[in-house]
Amino acid sequence: MDNLLNTPFRETVLQVMNDGVMILSNKGIVTGANPALAKVLGISGIELEGMPLMAVVPPVEENDEFMQALLDTIYKDCTISNRATPYYKERRRKIYLSVSVSRLKGNDGQSCGAVLVLRDVTEIEKMRQDEKKAESRPDAGHARC
């Protein structure tokens, strides 16, 4: 099993994943990302490695919730698992992302950054919202004759 954890294997897994993966340093600098991340975030033709997180995420007020989740993990040592969060791509196109963030620790046990996994759950979130609207209608659950 140890052979499966070597760098080429991990690299291959990251390259073929549909979920976006970003690795951040303690200072919020991108130190690694897979190709799916650019697709999920709607970023094209940009080399993310070495960029500050603030330069990767479009600077619109609506992305504050998304950014706060990431910053809390980086600076407050908390873990987030599958939190559905609104995210606005360029041109203010709203999507929903399932956000999972966890701290990374070095061999010495000290924090050395965070790993972020993003999945586009827009269609699922839209179905939930449609279901809520249908349930809240006055005639919901009543058959029409």
Q: What's the pLDDT score for residue 97? A: 92
**Is residue 102 domain-resident?**
yes
Q: pLDDT band at residue 2, thresholds of 50, 70 and 90?
A: very low
Q: What is the mean pLDDT of the chain?
A: 82
**Is residue 143 domain-resident?**
no
Burial of 39 (0-12, 13-18, 19+ CB in 10 A): middle
d(CA 50, CA 12) in angstroms, rounded, equals 21
Residue 80 has pLDDT above 90, yes or no: no
pTM listed for this prediction: 0.78
The mean pLDDT of 56-72, rounded to a whole number, is 82
Q: pLDDT band at residue 142, thresholds of 50, 70 and 90?
A: low
**Is residue 144 domain-resident?**
no
Planar angle of CA 58, 94, 50, nearest 5 degrees: 25
**Is residue 98 domain-resident?**
yes
Q: What's the pLDDT score for residue 1? A: 39
- Count of domains for the chain: 1
d(CA 75, CA 101) in angstroms, rounded, equals 12
CATH of the domain at 126: 3.30.450.20
**Is residue 34 domain-resident?**
yes
Residue 107: partners with Cβ closer than 8 Å, 6 or more residues away: none
**Is residue 141 domain-resident?**
no
**Is residue 142 domain-resident?**
no
Structural domain range at position 82: 2-136
More confident residue, 74 or 64: 64
**Is residue 97 domain-resident?**
yes
